[in-house]
Structure 1
């Protein structure tokens, strides 16, 4: 049970980028809630995720489905569902395993998904004053003022195919996402 608890706390929490609550020096997350249709595509992916944080690497599997009406994600650790989220463009519904640390929030997971996959123009329109997003080829950078907050690098187009590397400079984690379309 202790090993299972450890895996849930470290792997899942790190994957979801919310194991540590922001300090006073770190502003809260953006709170993006973009409409699913703003992605401009329907996708269904199996993903393998690796999270590096504080000298440790953890792995998780996920299933991600997005269409014009919803975003759905199921996160698995050791073959067990540890989190799910469904977002219809208005309401975000989440389920969490009891061993998942309380700071892991569906809102943060949804935000990372949208920052990674939604078009820059859709994100740009929703950013608060002082924030900006830049796309240059297969690299995206999110800025707060003159400070880079996240850098996302893509191996292929469309951006959800292949490998994605998200380096969150504010919360100090690196997430590698290897995606394969369902049915392949």
Structure 2
């Protein structure tokens, strides 16, 4: 039964592909070492899936490890330019898409602004980040508090019709 659940989690990801090219943000832009324990809840029309992610950030690497039902689904290592990923369960969602969502939610504003390609802009207000593409709101992130690396963040990707809720443990 657990393999069926993991398989459906992996298969659902096809709905989430596409979007921005891989953002080039140096891990050092995050300002030091951190380990984040996160629960991700992905919602798109007719489906909801949850998995746990452990994110490790240091001056040279951002690493993401995805877990569901105690099984390691994937690992992603990113040095600011290239992604190395390992999938223990076939995932239809590219590592770059998962990593970009992480960077959009958590990267400091100046680093994200510098990494966006032509036609894309980002603006922050007190507890919201809006990424615009060709003048249209494409991705909106609402935060539960002022620390972007803690609490709850709700990402809505309008063009791809999905929401991602990230609950980060204190």
TM-score by length of 2: 0.90
What is the correspondence of 1:35-114 to structure 2 with a 5 Å cutoff?
35-101=26-92, 104-114=93-103
Structure-2 change in CA distance of 1:44 and 1:21 (3 Å): closer
Contact residue 10 and residue 90 of structure 2 kept, 8 A: no
- Structure 2, unmatched stretches of 5+, are none
Counterpart residue number, 1:19: 14
Measure how far apart 1:157 and its partner are: 2.5
Contact residue 31 and residue 111 of structure 1 kept, 8 A: yes
RMSD: 2.0
Measure how far apart 1:42 and its partner are: 2.4
Measure how far apart 1:33 and its partner are: 2.0
Counterpart residue number, 1:156: 145
Counterpart residue number, 1:127: 116
Give the ranges of 4+ consecutive aligned residues of structure 1 lying more than 3 Å apart after TM superposition. Answer: none
1:129-150 CA distance string (max 9 Å, x none): 2210010111000000121110
Contact residue 87 and residue 93 of structure 1 kept, 8 A: yes
What is the correspondence of 1:167-182 to structure 2 with a 5 Å cutoff?
167-181=156-170
TM-score by length of 1: 0.83
Counterpart residue number, 1:116: 105
**Matched residues, number:** 170
